[in-house]
Amino acid sequence: MKIAFFYPERGYLGTGNRSIWGGRFYYSLGVLAGVIKKQGHSVSIKGGVKTFTMMELSASVKREKPDLIGISALSHQSGSVRNMVGKLRSLAPGVPLVFGGIHCTIDPEDALLDSGADFVVCGEGEKPLTELLSTIESGKSPAGIPGVWRKQGTSITPALPAELVSDLDDLPFADLETAHFMESDDYRIFHRFPILAARGCPHSCDFCCNSAWQSLYGPGHYRFRSPEHVCDELQSVAVIYKDLEYIQFQNDVFFPNLQWLERFVKLYRQVNLPLSVLLSLDMINKDSAQLLAELPLREVFVGIEHGGLDRTGKSGGEDFAKSVCERTRILRDLGIRLATFNMLGIPGGTAGDIYDSLLLNTHAAPAMVQVSYLYPYRKTAVYDRFSGLRAPLSYPTYFEGTVFRRKHVERHLRFYFVNYVRLLELMISIAEKKDRLARILFRGLFWPLPLSLKRILLRIVSAKVQIERKVFRIRF
């Protein structure tokens, strides 16, 4: 069968719907394509690494004449999916339309009703999609396949959760050609290869959709590939793409335990490209850091997020602050470059929380920070807790339904958001120089002053303090 995948990437939509970036490589879609190909089908992917217009979509469907159309999307692209489904119906009447991805996993019924697709896959796509294709190919009725929700007219047939891939080493490497890796910004601009060595995450942060995976599958959803499988893939990629500058591990927790890390460190010598990894603070101790230091690390990302709140959204208090200081120091002492994730806009958050976040960052002394808005995704704890902030069903931007849309809060929080990195640089410099007057003036920026006064104060502090250490801001 001929399968055409569409991923309606619209770029990262900033304020005023301006596209800030686009063109990211979607590793898991590359794997899904590989699985389908192995089953003997031909596969094409459009989107993801490059946006496409409706005209391009039409031309592609007319040219390829697919037997089944698959659509993948995050929640923010769900509006585009609805428009696409309408168009695809007239372009390819009778061709089954299957929608999958995290948006469908969170709420399959809603995704089915809202998109108008024939099928929605809830959970991991490999097993349900291969089974669906075999069933359609053999002319049987596609009923009762775990993970595959179906819509016929107005009636919806729910399904049991899709079966998980129990051993991730059974999956093929991502099909880079089909997923157009060479056209992605990851390759063209950043010269990096993004990879996932794991699926799932052991934690359950209030704002994260990981809770949807956990409620479907329980703790078993957190799985790792073997170091051998990961390094084999990286070696084969490095042979083809000789100008790669680094490897970007996108799994939320870089390693599951010390044995895995030890083995990985040995095998990675064959690859030996710089690598960028994500770690949760609790994975950092003297033993793991010693092993990490043997790798050619470019940087280690850790989540500080917001105002010393721990991952359940409660104040982590001194314990959390102490943990940030101690664990980040272990890495710094070994010369490992740090980057932090920061999240602004937690409902109910105050200027004081932002001050605390900056203070924690000052202790961590990162070389880079990534700042993003909290988005209240449905079926997350944050969404349930702050019912006043409910996001609309469709998610046209990254700002609808966030605290930044609330007028009186927005202006003040935006002041800190826009100036966050500058404030951090100032705070680090003031701490290093032990300048008492500058510290008092700086503290004033967090008093309940009118915004115009805060702006003037920021200018005064900036003029007084010479920033000696620049912190790089990652635009996400």
Please report, as ranges, the residues that interact with ligand SF4 according to CB under 6 A: 201, 203-205, 208, 210, 252, 280, 311
Residue 333: CB minimum distance to ligand B12, A: 29
Question: What kind and span of H or E run contains 452?
Answer: helix 451-464
3-class secondary structure per residue, 24-56: CCCHHHHHHHHHHHHCCCEEEEEECCCCCCHHH
The partner in contact with residue 261, picked from ligand B12, ligand SF4, none with C-beta cut-offs of 5 to 8 angstroms by kind, is: none
What is the Cβ-side half-sphere exposure of residue 417, based on CA atoms within 13 angstroms? Answer: 20
Cα 57 from chain centroid (whole Å) = 26
Residue 81: CB minimum distance to ligand B12, A: 10
The partner in contact with residue 280, picked from ligand SF4, ligand B12, none with C-beta cut-offs of 5 to 8 angstroms by kind, is: ligand SF4
The partner in contact with residue 203, picked from ligand SF4, ligand B12, none with C-beta cut-offs of 5 to 8 angstroms by kind, is: ligand SF4
Residue 437: CB minimum distance to ligand B12, A: 38
241 close to 193: Cβ distance less than 8 angstroms? yes
Rule CB under 6 A: is residue 305 a binding residue for ligand B12? no
What is the Cβ-side half-sphere exposure of residue 7, based on CA atoms within 13 angstroms? Answer: 27
22 versus 274: smaller Cβ distance to ligand B12: 22
Supply the DSSP string of 318-348, one letter for each residue: HHHHHHHHHHHHHHHHTT--EEEEEEE--TT
- Calculate the dihedral angle through the C-alpha atoms of 415, 323, 300, 7, rounding to the nearest 10 degrees: -60
Beta carbons within 10 angstroms of residue 129's beta carbon? 26
- Cα–Cα distance between 215 and 381 in angstroms, integer? 12
210 versus 361: smaller Cβ distance to ligand SF4: 210
Contacts with 356 (C-beta within 8 Å, 6 or more apart), sequence order: 307, 308, 321
Rule CB under 6 A: is residue 21 a binding residue for ligand B12? no
Rule CB under 6 A: is residue 126 a binding residue for ligand B12? yes
* Both structure tokens of 89: 């119906």
Rule CB under 6 A: is residue 50 a binding residue for ligand B12? no
Q: Are strands 275-279 and 198-199 parallel, antiparallel or unpaired?
A: unpaired
Among 4, 8, 23, 26, binds ligand B12 (CB under 6 A): 26
Q: What are the φ/ψ torsions at residue 325 (nearest 5 degrees)?
A: -60, -50
3-class DSSP state of 1: coil
The partner in contact with residue 181, picked from ligand SF4, ligand B12, none with C-beta cut-offs of 5 to 8 angstroms by kind, is: none
Among 199, 225, 306, 311, binds ligand B12 (CB under 6 A): 199
Q: How far apart are the first and last CA of the chain?
A: 37
Candidates 337, 271, 252, 264; CA nearest to 299 is: 337
Residue 60: CB minimum distance to ligand SF4, A: 33
Rule CB under 6 A: is residue 196 a binding residue for ligand B12? yes
Q: Please list every residue from 241 through 260 that binds ligand B12, using CB under 6 A.
A: 250, 252
Rule CB under 6 A: is residue 142 a binding residue for ligand B12? no
The partner in contact with residue 356, picked from ligand B12, ligand SF4, none with C-beta cut-offs of 5 to 8 angstroms by kind, is: none
Rule CB under 6 A: is residue 100 a binding residue for ligand B12? yes
136 close to 415: Cβ distance less than 8 angstroms? no
DSSP structural state of residue 173: P
* Both structure tokens of 121: 């896959």
Rule CB under 6 A: is residue 184 a binding residue for ligand B12? no
- The window from 69-77, 149-157, 283-291, 417-425 that contacts ligand B12 (CB under 6 A) reads 69-77
Rule CB under 6 A: is residue 233 a binding residue for ligand B12? no
Rule CB under 6 A: is residue 103 a binding residue for ligand B12? yes
Among 260, 377, 399, 416, binds ligand B12 (CB under 6 A): 377
Residue 335: CB minimum distance to ligand B12, A: 26
Provide the binding-site residues for ligand B12, judged by CB under 6 A. 9, 24, 26-28, 32, 70-72, 74-76, 98, 100-103, 105-106, 121, 124-126, 129, 196, 199, 208-210, 213, 250, 252, 372, 377, 476
